[in-house]
Amino acid sequence: AQSVTQLDSHVSVSEGTPVLLRCNYSSSYSPSLFWYVQHPNKGLQLLLKYTSAATLVKGINGFEAEFKKSETSFHLTKPSAHMSDAAEYFCVVSVFNDYKLSFGAGTTVTVRA
Amino acid sequence: GAGVSQSPRYKVAKRGQDVALRCDPISGHVSLFWYQQALGQGPEFLTYFQNEAQLDKSGLPSDRFFAERPEGSVSTLKIQRTQQEDSAVYLCASYWREDNNEQFFGPGTRLTVL
């Protein structure tokens, strides 16, 4: 079985400062890892995904994440937060050929002007 | 269509009523999923279809929940005799290639049971 733990339920940053959202995973096999973002009243949108290629994954809107097997982590970062980044972020894991996605509890990001 | 659509977007039901939630996946997507997202939580898997076949319904919380996809496109999630604990956002997702593993999500249906 696989699972993810998002270490922060809320993150508040000032506009223009870096954002760090932390995620640890647990998986018996080589995982696929994803970050999704959910804006109010909008569907979940894929930010980026790791599927055993490069460990540093670049996604949309300036986000990137690094897969660290030794630390079982997949933290999401962005160098400079924008007001439009305010949303709910989910770290997600699945095992290859397992269609079930396991979501973390989510991290709410607020961006201060 | 351009994306996954769901209807209704909001549904209020009295306890004990039956409800039906609809999902229109992206055209051509073979696989379809339903998830339940309780307030303040991440989505949880309910069930999975490949074409019209329901291959996994292990996440359905009780026998009051039933899903179908009779023609391999549109899917309906039905909840019978709704209870307050059924209040949640119900998300539908689809993808077209099993090894791609990227699911595209609809906006969800927010169900409130009074």
Mean pLDDT of B15-40: 94
Q: How far is A99 from chain B, CA to nearest CA, in Å?
A: 7
pLDDT for the residue B73: 93
| Percentage above 70 pLDDT, chain A | 97
pLDDT of A82 above 90:
yes
Lowest-pLDDT choice from A27-36, A102-111, B42-51, B99-108: B99-108
The overall average pLDDT reported for chain A is: 91
Residues of B in contact with A97 (CB under 8 A): 98-99
Residues B21, B76 contacting (CB under 8 angstroms): yes
Lowest-pLDDT choice from A53-57, B4-8, B19-23, B74-78: A53-57
Q: Could you please state the CATH topology (level 3) that the domain comprising A3-112 is classified under.
A: Immunoglobulin-like (2.60.40)
pLDDT of B99 above 70:
no
Please give the distance of CA B50 from its chain centroid, rounded to a whole number. 14
Cβ distance A99 to B107 less than 8 Å, yes or no, reads no
Cβ distance A99 to B105 less than 8 Å, yes or no, reads no
Q: What is the pLDDT of residues A83-102, one digit of tens each?
A: 999 999 999 998 766 678 89
How far apart CA A100 and CA A16 sit, in angstroms, is 36
Instruction: Give the 3-state secondary structure of chain A.
Output: CCEEEECCCEEEEECCCCEEECEEEECCCCEEEEEEEECCCCCCEEEEEECCCCCEEECHHHCEEEEECCCCEEEEEECCCCHHHCEEEEEEEEECCCCCCEECCCEEEEEEC
pLDDT for the residue B19: 98
How far apart CA B101 and CA A97 sit, in angstroms, is 8
How far apart CA A72 and CA B44 sit, in angstroms, is 22
pLDDT of A76 above 90:
yes
Q: Which of A49, A96, A104 sits opposite B102 (nearest CB)?
A: A49
Domain ranges of chain B: 5-113
Q: Could you please state the CATH topology (level 3) that the domain comprising B5-113 is classified under.
A: Immunoglobulin-like (2.60.40)
Q: Which of B42, B101, B108 sits opposite A94 (nearest CB)?
A: B101
Q: How far is B43 from chain A, CA to nearest CA, in Å?
A: 6
pLDDT for the residue A96: 60
| Percentage above 90 pLDDT, chain B | 85
Residues of B in contact with A23 (CB under 8 A): none
